[in-house]
Amino acid sequence: MVTGIQHEYASEVKKTSQILKALKEEHKDWKPHEKSMDVAQLASHIVDLQTWFDNALKKDAFDLKTDYVPIAYNSFEELNEVLEKRVAANMVFIEGVGNDFWFENFTFTMGDYVIAKLPRIAFLRSVLTNHLIHHRGQLTVYLRLLNIPVPGIYRPSADEH
């Protein structure tokens, strides 16, 4: 196993769970701008990414047009439960593959368009982890705009002092 993957992954999704737990159902359709995702779409997208370990990384290629199936959920509480289950499964997945697996090329497409062809470790970091961090940051801005206390991510937030 590539050193640090489990620690980095577990740390980021734990912080993500804190943000999801702060969401309120009455705000699920709210969005800060007409071009933005609403709260529910953004939260769902963040958790959706956690299904890509065994739906995408196990394969040599993943096509967003044919392989992607969005998750279904009824509440933010349920969405957080989905996250927790996916994280547990993903940790088992990470433990079960060897170092060579992470350095094999992986192709990410949308139909005939190749989005990226890169080693799995790079896909994990750039698409599954950094992408998660990016959208989690957006979600914290949503919380701030909705006057919901923002949980600390890398240290206590201004709301936790």
pLDDT digits (tens, 9 = 90+) for 49-86: 888 887 889 899 999 999 988 888 999 999 999 999 99
How many whole angstroms separate alpha carbon 144 and alpha carbon 88? 30
* Cα torsion 29, 141, 129, 11: sign: negative
pLDDT band at 35 (very low <50, low <70, confident <90, very high): very high
Q: Which tokens belong to 147?
A: 């006057």
Q: List for the chain the helix, strand, coil content (%; round to 5).
A: 60, 10, 30
- CATH code, 5-149: 1.20.120.450
The pLDDT value recorded for residue 1 is 52
Helix (H) / strand (E) containing 110: strand 105-110
Helix (H) / strand (E) containing 62: strand 61-63
pLDDT digits (tens, 9 = 90+) for 6-16: 888 888 888 89
pLDDT band at 101 (very low <50, low <70, confident <90, very high): very high
Q: Which tokens belong to 121?
A: 């470790």
Q: Where are the domains of the chain?
A: 5-149
How far is residue 87 CA from its own chain's centroid? 10
Average pLDDT over residues 21-45: 96
Average pLDDT over residues 102-128: 94
Q: CB within 8 A of 96, min separation 6: which ones?
A: none
The pLDDT value recorded for residue 127 is 85
Given a cut of 60, is residue 2 above it in pLDDT?
Answer: no
